[in-house]
Amino acid sequence: MSLDDRVAGVSCREVLAQLGDYQDGALAADARATLEAHVGACANCAAFGGAYGGLVARLRERLAPRPLDADRAARLAARLAKGD
């Protein structure tokens, strides 16, 4: 098991380098197909890609901003009214 392993014509190292663009939907169609063929046949990259994508989803879900609480909003309004 090494990042130099080649599966479906690309190394795990290359897949790791492109994983961000893949996650962001920024890979061209042919590069995406090549990456997906590798991941479909490489257990390490499949597991890692799943964890990577899962972590991004947790960021969105778990850190969603909440509205200001009433006290903080009132202090902000007071400072803005005062103007300094």
Partner 1 sequence: MIRAAAGDRPAFAAIVDRYGGQVFHLARALVRDDATAEDVLQDTFLAAWRTAASYRGDGAVASWLYAIARHAAHRHGRRADQISTDDRSLEALGAAAGWGQPDVLAIVARGEDRAQLEAALATLPDDDRLALWLHHVLDQTFDDTAKVLGCSVAAVKSRLHRARLALAASLRQGGDHVAR
Binding site for Zn ion (CB under 5 A): 12, 42, 45
Nearer Cβ to partner 1, position 29 or 70?
A: 70
Tell me phi and psi for residue 50, to 5 degrees: -65, -40
**Which of 9, 28, 29, 63 touches partner 1 by CB under 8 A?**
63
Interactions with partner 1, residue window 1-20 (CB under 8 A): 1, 3, 12-13, 16-17, 19-20
Burial of 4 (0-12, 13-18, 19+ CB in 10 A): exposed
Cα distance between residue 53 and residue 20, in whole Å? 9
Burial of 38 (0-12, 13-18, 19+ CB in 10 A): buried
Binding status of residue 32 toward partner 1 by CB under 8 A? no
If contact means CB under 5 to 8 A according to the sort of partner, which of partner 1, Zn ion, none does residue 6 touch?
A: none
Could you tell me how far CA 81 lies from the centroid of its own chain? 41
Contact residues toward partner 1 (CB under 8 A) are: 1, 3, 12-13, 16-17, 19-21, 23-24, 26, 44, 47-48, 50-52, 54-56, 58-60, 62-68, 72-73, 75-77, 79-80, 83-84
